[in-house]
Amino acid sequence: MNESFESYHNYQNPFQPVYSSRLDPWKHAVQEVLSDVTAQVLYLDPEERTYFRLVEWFKAAWFSRISSDYFSYDTSYYLYLIHVSSHFLPHLEGASGTLAGWIRYQPFHGAAETLTVPVVKQVDRLKLYVFETDPEILSHLADTAAFHVLCSSASFPDLLEIDSAGDGRSSIHTLGTFKRNDWDIKE
């Protein structure tokens, strides 16, 4: 498997393949940063998820994975660091949750390159932290996550929250409705 997200190989959590739309290389790199920082933070107790630790981890991941060649100017590189971290890090600071598994994107069917997104399980919802802002891709991601929850033997909450670090918006999807409406057995 040609996977650049190193910490994925060390996990024993459920893994779900997902086929989705193409991602630009720089968006792929930003999503890897979000996924890496999310996985690191979930090892900590919520009280240990301080702003200082989050900022340091995010900066280290950003500088190691994001090339300034993706941007026309060095200023843009640093402004994007601030933009993405300001939408992403507040969600993690002091938040509760555990790693419930992973959802994997393939930019297009049969592609060797993949993108791995951690699934965070909270008391009342599942959460995904993504960089994507395209409503069609986010909707497809919600449908796919709902399908995998339906097929899972584990117990999951009925809500899915997708937080976008690209534009700071969040969307909440009801997984229970997906279960009831799409899989009703008519007698």
Q: Check residues 13 and 94 and name the one with the higher pLDDT.
A: 94
| Average of per-residue pLDDT values in the chain | 79
pLDDT exceeds 50 at position 184? no
pLDDT for position 181: 43
Q: Check residues 18 and 169 and name the one with the higher pLDDT.
A: 169
Q: Where does the pLDDT of residue 4 fall: very low under 50, low under 70, confident under 90, or very high at 90 and above?
A: very low
pLDDT for position 23: 59
Beta-bridged to residue 82, according to DSSP, are none
Domain limits for position 155: 13-182
In a domain, 81, yes or no: yes
Where do we find the tokens 């009342």?
124
Q: Check residues 149 and 40 and name the one with the higher pLDDT.
A: 40
CA-closest candidate to residue 158, choices 180, 136, 135: 180
Where do we find the tokens 């893994």?
15
The per-residue pLDDT for range 72-126, each reduced to its tens digit, is 999 999 999 999 999 999 998 878 888 988 887 654 555 566 678 899 999 899 9
In a domain, 6, yes or no: no
**Averaged pLDDT, 154-158:** 82
Q: How far is CA 87 from the centre of its chain?
A: 13
The per-residue pLDDT for range 136-147, each reduced to its tens digit, is 778 777 877 887
In a domain, 99, yes or no: yes
Q: What is the pTM of this model?
A: 0.78
Say which range, 10-24, 103-117, 160-174, has the weakest mean pLDDT.
10-24
Residue 7 DSSP SS3: helix
In a domain, 23, yes or no: yes
Contact 97, 17 (CB under 8 A): no
Q: Where does the pLDDT of residue 3 fall: very low under 50, low under 70, confident under 90, or very high at 90 and above?
A: very low
In a domain, 187, yes or no: no
Where do we find the tokens 């630009």?
24
Overall domain count for the chain: 1
In a domain, 7, yes or no: no
In a domain, 100, yes or no: yes
pLDDT exceeds 70 at position 64? yes
